[in-house]
C-alpha cells in the first residue's frame, strides 16, 4: 500500500513539474514579445523672405508666428516596424518623399513600404515642392532640389532616426471621437449654373459666399476624429497621432508662417495629457484626413469677423478636448501585430481636348483690356497647357498599415469626405482612417458623381487624373487591407 502511495505521489510531482516548466516556457515566449514606441519632432521652419503658398498669390514671409515641424511616430513589435512622418507643409512631391524613404532605409533598414510620409496641406508655409513657375508641371518631379527641399529631406530623415532611437517598451490604443461643429462641405449646389474658367457651366461653386443663391452642400463631411495613443509602461504619454478631415483653418495674416491648427492641436493635447517637459519629449501629431471638399466655413449662416488665429485656437482646443475625453476609456494593448502593404496603381492623366486648348490659347493671346468671363480664365488657360506636359498615365502609390485591429490607409490626393467614409465602411478592420496627401501630391480626387457637378476641384490640373480614379483607389485599398487580414 505504501509503495502505491509513493508511486501516486511521484506521478503527481512529475505532472506539476511538467506543467510548471510549460508555464514558464509560455511566459518566456510572451515576455519576448515586447512592443515599443518612440516619437520625435524636427524643426523645418523656412527662412523669412521665402514665399508662402496655398492661394493664387505668393506673399513674402515677414513673420514667424510659430515654428513648422515634421512629427514622427515609430512603432516596433519585435517582428515589424512602422513609421509615420507628418509634415506641416502644403504638399510634398513623390520624388522627394521617395528620396527620404531611401535615406531612412539605408540608415535604419526599415522598408519604404513601412514608412508613411504625409503633408497636412498647411497654407501658411513656404513650398517644398518646387519653384513656383513649374509647380503644376511634370518637370517638378525631375528638377534639381532647391536649398529648402534639401533641408527638408535631411530633417525628415533625421526625425525618423530620432523616433527609432527613442523606442521604449510601450502600450498602444486607439479610439474615435466626434467633432461635427467644425467641418463643412465647401462645395454648394447653386440655384443657377455658374460659368467656370473654361467657359462651361458648373452646378456647384466652392466657397460660394453668403449672398449668392445656393441650395445646399453637395455632400456630407466626416465628423470623426480618430487617434492612436502610445504610452510608456509606467503610463507616461509618449505620443498621440490624430486624424481629422478638415482643410487648414486659416485666419492667418498673409505674411505669417504658422503650423495652423495642426500645430496648435499638438500643443493643446500635450497640455491636456500633462506631458510637458518629459524625456524623451511627448509628441502630439495631427494628420489630415479626407478633407478635399471640407473646410471650417459654414456658408449657411452670416459671416462673423474674428481676430487672427482665434479660429485656430477654438478648433484645436475642441478637437483636443474630444480626443482627451475619449482617450480616458480606450483599451491599451501590451502587444499588437504590425504590417504594411504599398502598391502602385496606374491612372490615366485627365487632359483637356483640342477645343479647350484652342480657347486657352486665345485667352493667353488676348489683350488685358478684354474683360474675362471668369476671374481665373488666364490662370487656368496656363494650367491647361501645363497638364499637357504630363505623361498619359501615372503610377500613384497606395499604402495600408495594419496595427492590431486598426487599419490606416495613405492616399496621395486631396480626398473627398465621401471617399474617406466609404473606405471606413468597407474596411475589414474594426476601425479605419485615411491620411491624405500621403507619399505624394497629385491634386484633388473628386468622386465620379462630384465630377458631374463641376466646380473648382474638378477643373483641369486642379484634378489631374481620370474621373473613375476614386473608385479604383478604394478598390485597391480594400485589396491591400484584405491581404493584411489574411496574413493574420
pLDDT in tens, 353-380: 999 999 999 999 999 899 999 999 999 9
Give the per-residue pLDDT at 132: 62
104-137 confidence digits (pLDDT tens): 999 999 999 999 999 999 999 999 997 666 677 8
Average pLDDT over residues 233-253: 97
Instruction: Report whether pLDDT(78) > 80.
Output: yes
Helix axes 260-272, 310-327, angle to 10 degrees: 40
Q: Report the chain's mean pLDDT, rounded to a whole number.
A: 93
Alpha-carbon distance of 406 to 400, in angstroms, equals: 10
Burial label, 26 (beta-carbon count in 10 A; 0-12, 13-18, 19+):
exposed
% pLDDT > 70, the chain: 92
Phi-psi region of 274 (alpha: psi -120 to 50; beta: other; left: phi over 0): left
Give the per-residue pLDDT at 259: 98
Give the per-residue pLDDT at 2: 45
Per the DSSP assignment, residues forming a β-bridge with 330 are none
Instruction: Report whether pLDDT(21) > 90.
Output: no
Instruction: Give me the residue label for grid cell 498647411.
Output: 122
Give the per-residue pLDDT at 133: 62
Give the per-residue pLDDT at 56: 67
Q: Which three cell numbers stand for residue 36?
A: 515599443
Closest CA to 308 of 237, 256, 379: 256
Give the per-residue pLDDT at 473: 99
472-483 confidence digits (pLDDT tens): 999 999 999 999
Closest CA to 410 of 82, 58, 31: 82
Of 22-31, 277-286, 430-439, minimum mean pLDDT range: 22-31
Decide which of 28 and 178 is more confident: 178
Alpha-carbon distance of 123 to 429, in angstroms, equals: 33
Give the per-residue pLDDT at 486: 80
Give the per-residue pLDDT at 58: 85
Instruction: Report whether pLDDT(15) > 90.
Output: no
Give the per-residue pLDDT at 24: 37
Residue 202 and residue 455 in contact, taking contact as beta carbons nearer than 8 Å:
yes
Alpha-carbon distance of 341 to 150, in angstroms, equals: 28
Amino acid at each position: 500500500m505504501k509503495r502505491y502511495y509513493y508511486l501516486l505521489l511521484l506521478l503527481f510531482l512529475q505532472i506539476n513539474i511538467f506543467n510548471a516548466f510549460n508555464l514558464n516556457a509560455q511566459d518566456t515566449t510572451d515576455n519576448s514579445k515586447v512592443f515599443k514606441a518612440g516619437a520625435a519632432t524636427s524643426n523645418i521652419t523656412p527662412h523669412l523672405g521665402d514665399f508662402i503658398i496655398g492661394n493664387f498669390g505668393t506673399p513674402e514671409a515677414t513673420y514667424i508666428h510659430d515654428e513648422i515641424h515634421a512629427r514622427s511616430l515609430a512603432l516596433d513589435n519585435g517582428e515589424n516596424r512602422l513609421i509615420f512622418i507628418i509634415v506641416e507643409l502644403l504638399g510634398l512631391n513623390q520624388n522627394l518623399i521617395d528620396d527620404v524613404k531611401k535615406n531612412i532605409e539605408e540608415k535604419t533598414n526599415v522598408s519604404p513600404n513601412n514608412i508613411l510620409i504625409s503633408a497636412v496641406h498647411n497654407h501658411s508655409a513656404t513650398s517644398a515642392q518646387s519653384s513656383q513657375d513649374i509647380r503644376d508641371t511634370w518637370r517638378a518631379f525631375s528638377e534639381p532640389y532647391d536649398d529648402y527641399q534639401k533641408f527638408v529631406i535631411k530633417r525628415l530623415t533625421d526625425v525618423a532616426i530620432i523616433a527609432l532611437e527613442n523606442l521604449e517598451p510601450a502600450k498602444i490604443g486607439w479610439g474615435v471621437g466626434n467633432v461635427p461643429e467644425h467641418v463643412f462641405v465647401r462645395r454648394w449646389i447653386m440655384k443657377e449654373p455658374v460659368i467656370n474658367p473654361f467657359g462651361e457651366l458648373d452646378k456647384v461653386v466652392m466657397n460660394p459666399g453668403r449672398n449668392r443663391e445656393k441650395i445646399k452642400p453637395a455632400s456630407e463631411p466626416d465628423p470623426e476624429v480618430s487617434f492612436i495613443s502610445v504610452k510608456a509602461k509606467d503610463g507616461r504619454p509618449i505620443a498621440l497621432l490624430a486624424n481629422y478631415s478638415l482643410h487648414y483653418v486659416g485666419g492667418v495674416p498673409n505674411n505669417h508662417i504658422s503650423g495652423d491648427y495642426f500645430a496648435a492641436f499638438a500643443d493643446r493635447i500635450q497640455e491636456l495629457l500633462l506631458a510637458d517637459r518629459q524625456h524623451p519629449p511627448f509628441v502630439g501629431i495631427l494628420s489630415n484626413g479626407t478633407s478635399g471638399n471640407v473646410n471650417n466655413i459654414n456658408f449657411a449662416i452670416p459671416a462673423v469677423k474674428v481676430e487672427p488665429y482665434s479660429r485656430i485656437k477654438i478648433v484645436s482646443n475642441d478637437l483636443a478636448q474630444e480626443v482627451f475625453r475619449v482617450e480616458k476609456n480606450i483599451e491599451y494593448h501590451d502587444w499588437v501585430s504590425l504590417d504594411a502593404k504599398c502598391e502602385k496603381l496606374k491612372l490615366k492623366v485627365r487632359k483637356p481636348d483640342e477645343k479647350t486648348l484652342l480657347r486657352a490659347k486665345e485667352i493667353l493671346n488676348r489683350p488685358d483690356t478684354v474683360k474675362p468671363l471668369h476671374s481665373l480664365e488666364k490662370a487656368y488657360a496656363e494650367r491647361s497647357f501645363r497638364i499637357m506636359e504630363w505623361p498619359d498615365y501615372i503610377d500613384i502609390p497606395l499604402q495600408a498599415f495594419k496595427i492590431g485591429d486598426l487599419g490606416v490607409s495613405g492616399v496621395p490626393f486631396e480626398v473627398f469626405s465621401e471617399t474617406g467614409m466609404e473606405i471606413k465602411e468597407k474596411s475589414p478592420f474594426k476601425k479605419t482612417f485615411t491620411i491624405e496627401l500621403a507619399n505624394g501630391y497629385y491634386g484633388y480626387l473628386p468622386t465620379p458623381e462630384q465630377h458631374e457637378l463641376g466646380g473648382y476641384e474638378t477643373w483641369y490640373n486642379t484634378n489631374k487624373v481620370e474621373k473613375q480614379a476614386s473608385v479604383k483607389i478604394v478598390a485597391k485599398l480594400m485589396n491591400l487591407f484584405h491581404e493584411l487580414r489574411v496574413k493574420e
